[in-house]
Amino acid sequence: MNNQVQPPRAAVRLFRWYCNDALVEDMLGDLEEIFDNNLSKMPRWKAQLKYWIQIIDLITSYSVKKRKNDSAFHLLSNTQNSTTMFKNYFKVAYRSLLKQKLFTAINVIGIALGLSISLLMIAVISDILEYDKFQKNRDSIYRIITKTYDKESVEHWATSPAPAAELVSEFSEIKHIVKMNNQLEGEVHYNGKYIPMYGFFVDPAFLDVFSFELIKGDLSTALSQPNNILITESESIKLFSEEDPLGKVVSIEPYGEFVVTGVLKDHPKKSHIHFDIIGSYQKYTQLEQQQILPKLSTKWDHLEDHYTYIQLKDGSTPDNLINGIAQISKNKQANSPNIEVNMELQAMSDITLGKELNRSLGPQWDTISMIVFGVMALFILIPACFNYANISMARALKRAKEIGVRKVVGGQKQQIFLQFIVETMLVCLISFALSYVLFTYLRVEFMEFLAPASAAGLSLEITPLMIGSFIAFTLFTGFLIGIIPALHFAKMKPLNALKNKLPTRVSGKFNMKKALMVVQFTLSLGFIMAVAIMLDQYRYSLNHKMGFEQENVLNVKLHDAKYEQLKTEASKLSEVTAISFSSTIVGVRSHNFTWIKQSDHGDSSQVFQIFADQNYLDLHEIQLLAGKNFPSEMPKQESYVIVNEEFVASLGYENNNDALGKTVILENGTEVSIIGVVQNFHYTDIRNEIKPMFFRYDPSQFAYANLKLNTPDVFSTIDKLEDEYEKLSEREFQATFLSSDINDVYVWYHYFVKMVGFLGFLAITISCLGLLGMVVFNVESRTKEVGIRKVHGASVKKIAFILSKEYISMAALSVIIAVPLTYALFDFMLPYMQHYNAGVSIGAVFLSILFLLVMVGLTISSQTVKAAKANPADTLKYE
Amino acid sequence: MKGYLGEFEELVLLTIAAFGNEAYGVAIKEDIESRTNRSISIGALHSTLTRLEEKKFISSWLGGATSERGGRKKRFFNLTAEGKTALSKSKELRDELWSMSQIDIKPAHD
């Protein structure tokens, strides 16, 4: 007999696995007998091969199928009556969750916090994917976008050169081409009402290409005349109330009069094209000819406001068009030597979730920020998941007996597995309920955070689909979290489990756990430091010396009021101590640049300009270093400018006085002379470096009156001013304080700190919960050790230290990792965010570390001190 | 009579009958193989046994643990009354046909 040679084990295993619970012992016996017989007749490999063939033969035979079938419907089978089993799983899960209240709470809170950001992310993604879904021709609509290169930089534009449309329209694949210009903006006037509206001048094909529904008016003639205008339903109600809008004449300054020829249904919110009114492109061309709008539509390098959309013919592909458009760009290159213009096609589906473009329409999410967001969400969620897995594995010791008994009375692997998965799912669903509450709060905050970034913004409306995907995500997460502990429990050997002789893999996995903990704390510290550093920046920005006086200065928008009249009226009020006029509000972001030349043949350079009157410098307390202010009687022809120190330096003069009397040539060719030099001040916000700027004098450019107030009662003064203003203009009185305008520039810090602060809060809470779980488990399993140490005379302090030391070293390690990384990141980023910044202060770093250590310390000591204080007489009895 | 008794089924039934209470998988397989000089696949044999059991022509029981074949139990088969009836019906049919046939019966030599 050849007892040593066994049949191939893999084959036996395969057979067993395939047959599952079916009774096939006799078959295996038969096979083994044949195998033994064969061994004496043939070489071993041949016998093994035969064995394999027979196994396969059996697996595919009717007999095994029948036996499997029998076993599946057997009295003790787990496939029978599964609803009862599920009820039982829920009952057991419910009981065990109640039994370990602390751990359940830690898990539920941890997962709820972890999930919240993921829910937000799902909401954002599903919102983005909804964009432009309502467009019926979605798949065949493309936009021509442009990439420009000049000497300094590459820019990506959502716009395209206006003359391109004519050339592109010659391609045979194109069904429609729509030129759109977004300069149709202003206050629409009808019957004493002024309502600000925004929209596009478009080609008539606009209504064919896009699914914007015309509810009143004739589709074929709606945009046939230059002065036709379409209005959305809600805006039409605002403007005309009950009246029938069709045929009404409205005026928009400075564009003139329009006839309403149609009412468009309000377009869905989730449209990247957003408008209140739609005018005709013919009107735009007219306005250009009348020089009301700058004549730019023939310029190939002008890319400010012009969009081109194409609809392809059904069934045609854009490939040929892409090459054609590239070719057109190349041919036109010769005309504009300074700037290289390259046009490309962009599918409609790539507009909202695509790359970031200048002058883009609607909200825009580039892939990178989506990824950053996703990574953030995972950074928050994954630690929560690991905490759950860690804690439940650690609890395995406590539940070993339960599992042992289950297995002995016939519990199958799948049943144990399912039981733990159900338990995890239950925890996740409870967490989800909590997380959802958190999400509704987060949603509002997040929208506020986004608001300044995107004009139209995301709505993040809660839809059934969204809730469905939330729950699906939660269950998926639950499954992923649960699978490791569930497999671990299912694999337990019943005998070992009952004897409490568990493979103490816990210690082996401890290093992994420690590493995860360190990662979590590193991340938390990173967030805390980010908050501290950004708070520093916020404080710094608000207190930064702007170089001018910002208190008690009220800026009143002039609109069509005559500035001389306003001056006379306002001067009558005793509260107004000084008045000046200017083109912009100083100290906030603005792009009021112009080009100047030193001589006819010199290079032009970019200069920031403010149009101001004689009182401007005094009122703002901007210091004049050399020369003099604008004289009270200015010549008709613009001839004087006042410049800042940077300007003087850029001209190449060392001394301010040297620049006085020198002349520069403005963009329109006028030669002006420098009569004064002022100290550098922040003419825009402090994100930008102070560069050359000058003050010009041109009353036609005045847009704001700057009033210096001296009054105990601001509101009544503003009321009085409003009364005066109403005498001069029909328009709404708009006034803001300079200091609050300036503070508004930095308000994004507030939202940023709130958002990052919240992320930090999540990160540190989850980490501390995980730590708490670890410490509780560790302390529990070392109860006896502590008792014995105490009996031998160890002090409470000493024991608490012994129990805590590994955690303290973990926290220390994360400090060592996090501090240099975060420091480097912010040191690199801050100058890009804001030229004048507070940098990374030692105080902020120190406070963050302190905060982390205090949190960690509190978490650890909450358990260790209690354990150390326990009476050894009790703990040693504890079994 | 339940269904038609196939050739292989009849062979297996008769072999089981020959073994008495000692018929089990390998024994049946080897016996048929040696008598008919053909090779039988184990899957086909077990499938046939299963079908015969479903038709209630045979019954089976598990034997005790064995010392050889990895200590695994044998499944023994035995003819039921129905199985015996089926066999005898089948024999009657053949005898009848043989008696009517006009072939001289010669014993096979090989």
Tens of pLDDT, residue by residue over A333-374, are 655 556 677 888 888 888 877 777 877 787 777 777 788 888
Tracing tokens 């702007």 back to the chain, one arrives at A546
- The two three-digit tokens of residue A182, written as one number: 């977004």
Distance CA A833, CA A541 (A): 12
Taking CA–CA distances from A65, the nearest residue in chain B reads B47
CA A66 to chain centre: 58
Among partner residues A33, A36, A58, which is closest to B46 by beta-carbon distance?
Answer: A58
- The two three-digit tokens of residue A399, written as one number: 């539940």
| Contact criterion met (CB below 8 Å) for A859 and A804 | no
> In which region does residue A20 sit, left (phi positive, over 0), alpha (psi from -120 to 50) or beta (all else)?
left
User: Looking at residue A386, what is its pLDDT?
Assistant: 83
If pLDDT is split at 50, 70 and 90, which confidence band does A384 have? confident
Q: Is the pLDDT of residue A182 over 70?
A: yes
- The two three-digit tokens of residue A614, written as one number: 């004689």
For residues A291 and A815, the model is more confident at: A815
Q: Give the closest-approach CA distance of B18 to chain A in angstroms.
A: 19
Q: Is the pLDDT of residue A452 over 80?
A: no
Q: Give the closest-approach CA distance of B110 to chain A in angstroms.
A: 25
Taking CA–CA distances from A33, the nearest residue in chain B reads B69
Q: Give the closest-approach CA distance of B92 to chain A in angstroms.
A: 30
Average pLDDT, chain B: 85
Distance CA A758, CA A647 (A): 44
**Partners of residue A252 on adjacent β-strands:** A188, A256
Question: Looking at beta carbons, which residues of chain B come within 8 Å of A37?
Answer: 26
E strands along A601-687, which residues?
604-611, 624-627, 640-644, 663-665, 671-678
User: Looking at residue A432, what is its pLDDT?
Assistant: 93
Q: Is the pLDDT of residue A506 over 50?
A: no
User: Looking at residue A278, what is its pLDDT?
Assistant: 92
In the predicted model, what is the mean pLDDT of residues B10-20? 90
- Give, to the nearest 10 degrees, the angle between helix A62-72 and helix B42-54: 50
In the predicted model, what is the mean pLDDT of residues A807-818? 91
Q: Give the closest-approach CA distance of B25 to chain A in angstroms.
A: 6
Q: Is the pLDDT of residue A676 over 60?
A: yes
User: Looking at residue A507, what is its pLDDT?
Assistant: 47
Ranking A184-188, A396-400, A427-431, A833-837 by mean pLDDT, the lowest is A396-400
HEC string of A814-840? HHHHHHHHHHHHHHHHHHHHCCCCCCC
User: Looking at residue A451, what is its pLDDT?
Assistant: 61
Residues of A with CB under 8 A from a CB of B: 1, 6-7, 25-34, 36-37, 54, 57-58, 60-64, 66-67
Question: Looking at beta carbons, which residues of chain A come within 8 Å of B26?
Answer: 30, 33-34, 37
Taking CA–CA distances from A54, the nearest residue in chain B reads B42
Tracing tokens 């029909």 back to the chain, one arrives at A730
| Contact criterion met (CB below 8 Å) for A412 and A78 | yes
- The two three-digit tokens of residue A270, written as one number: 């989730």
Within 13 A of A311's CA, how many CA atoms are on the CB side?
17
Q: Give the closest-approach CA distance of B81 to chain A in angstroms.
A: 23
Among partner residues A1, A6, A31, which is closest to B42 by beta-carbon distance?
Answer: A31
Tracing tokens 């989730």 back to the chain, one arrives at A270
- Give, to the nearest 10 degrees, the angle between helix A505-543 and helix A796-833: 50
Among partner residues A6, A26, A33, which is closest to B62 by beta-carbon distance?
Answer: A26
For residues A124 and A295, the model is more confident at: A124
Best CA proximity match to A387, nearest among A105, A775, A110:
A110
E strand or H helix at A181: strand A174-190
**B9, B12, B26: best mutation site toward chain A, by most A Cβ within 10 Å?**
B26
User: Is the bond leading into A294 cis (omega within 30 degrees of zero)?
Assistant: no
User: Looking at residue A508, what is its pLDDT?
Assistant: 47
User: Looking at residue A2, what is its pLDDT?
Assistant: 45
- Give, to the nearest 10 degrees, the angle between helix A396-408 and helix A413-450: 140
B33 touches chain A (CB under 8 A): no
Q: Is the pLDDT of residue A526 over 60?
A: yes
User: Looking at residue A456, what is its pLDDT?
Assistant: 46
Taking CA–CA distances from A29, the nearest residue in chain B reads B72
In the predicted model, what is the mean pLDDT of residues A493-517? 65
Cα-based torsion angle of the residue sequence A219, A222, A225, A226 in order, rounded to the nearest 10 degrees = -130
Cα-based torsion angle of the residue sequence A739, A740, A743, A748 in order, rounded to the nearest 10 degrees = -170
If pLDDT is split at 50, 70 and 90, which confidence band does A3 have? low
If pLDDT is split at 50, 70 and 90, which confidence band does A322 have? confident
User: Looking at residue A361, what is its pLDDT?
Assistant: 80
Contact criterion met (CB < 8 Å) for B69 and A27: no
Burial of A206 (0-12, 13-18, 19+ CB in 10 A): buried
DSSP A429-443: HHHHHHHHHHHHHHH
First to last CA, chain A: 53
Burial of B101 (0-12, 13-18, 19+ CB in 10 A): exposed
Q: Give the closest-approach CA distance of A490 to chain B in angstroms.
A: 27
B50 touches chain A (CB under 8 A): yes
E strands along chain B, which residues?
23-24, 58-62, 75-79
User: Looking at residue A848, what is its pLDDT?
Assistant: 93
In the predicted model, what is the mean pLDDT of residues A19-48? 85
**Partners of residue A708 on adjacent β-strands:** A553, A578
Ranking A510-519, A659-668, A670-679 by mean pLDDT, the lowest is A510-519
User: Looking at residue A851, what is its pLDDT?
Assistant: 93
Contact criterion met (CB < 8 Å) for B42 and A30: yes
Contact criterion met (CB < 8 Å) for A61 and B44: yes
Contact criterion met (CB < 8 Å) for B69 and A64: no
Question: Looking at beta carbons, which residues of chain A come within 8 Å of B69?
Answer: 29-30, 32-33, 36
User: Looking at residue A256, what is its pLDDT?
Assistant: 87
Q: Is the pLDDT of residue A254 over 70?
A: yes
DSSP 8-state class, residue B22: G
Contact criterion met (CB < 8 Å) for A28 and B25: no
Question: Looking at beta carbons, which residues of chain B come within 8 Å of A25?
Answer: 62, 72-73
Other CB atoms within 10 A of residue A13 CB: 10
Domains with residue ranges and CATH for chain B: 7-100 (1.10.10.10)
If pLDDT is split at 50, 70 and 90, which confidence band does A502 have? low
In the predicted model, what is the mean pLDDT of residues B13-18? 91
Contact criterion met (CB < 8 Å) for B73 and A54: no
User: Looking at residue A821, what is its pLDDT?
Assistant: 93
Cα-based torsion angle of the residue sequence A106, A107, A113, A119 in order, rounded to the nearest 10 degrees = -170
* Helix residue ranges, H only, A493-615: 494-499, 505-543, 563-571
Distance CA A420, CA A489 (A): 8
User: What type of residue sits at position A373?
Assistant: F
Among partner residues A25, A37, A58, which is closest to B73 by beta-carbon distance?
Answer: A25
Contact criterion met (CB < 8 Å) for A34 and B47: no
Percent of chain B with pLDDT over 90: 10
pLDDT, tens only, A119-161: 988 888 888 888 888 888 888 899 988 888 765 567 788 888 8
Among partner residues B43, B49, B66, which is closest to A58 by beta-carbon distance?
Answer: B43
Distance CA A693, CA A584 (A): 13
Tracing tokens 């004549």 back to the chain, one arrives at A295
If pLDDT is split at 50, 70 and 90, which confidence band does A194 have? confident
Domain ranges of chain A: 9-72, 138-352, 367-540+748-877, 553-745
Q: Give the closest-approach CA distance of A58 to chain B in angstroms.
A: 4
CB under 8 Å to A290, separation ≥6 — which residues? Answer: none
Contact criterion met (CB < 8 Å) for B69 and A60: no
Average pLDDT, chain A: 84
Question: Looking at beta carbons, which residues of chain B come within 8 Å of A33?
Answer: 26, 68-69
Distance CA A118, CA A109 (A): 15
Contact criterion met (CB < 8 Å) for B25 and A27: yes
In the predicted model, what is the mean pLDDT of residues A489-505? 68
Instruction: Determine the 3-state secondary structure of B16 from DSSP.
Output: helix
HEC string of A282-317? HHHHHHHHCCCCCCCCCCCCCCCCEEEEEEECCCCC
Percent of chain A with pLDDT over 90: 12
CA separation, residue A289 to residues A166, A293, A296, A335, A859 (Å)? 18, 8, 10, 22, 74
If pLDDT is split at 50, 70 and 90, which confidence band does A819 have? very high
Q: Is the pLDDT of residue A434 over 90?
A: yes
Q: Is the pLDDT of residue A72 over 80?
A: no
| Contact criterion met (CB below 8 Å) for A74 and A403 | no
Distance CA B63, CA A438 (A): 65
In the predicted model, what is the mean pLDDT of residues A474-480? 90
| Contact criterion met (CB below 8 Å) for A277 and A130 | no
pLDDT, tens only, B46-67: 999 998 888 889 988 888 777 7
pLDDT, tens only, A334-343: 555 566 778 8
- The two three-digit tokens of residue A746, written as one number: 């930095």
Q: Is the pLDDT of residue A30 over 90?
A: no
Predicted structure pTM score: 0.66
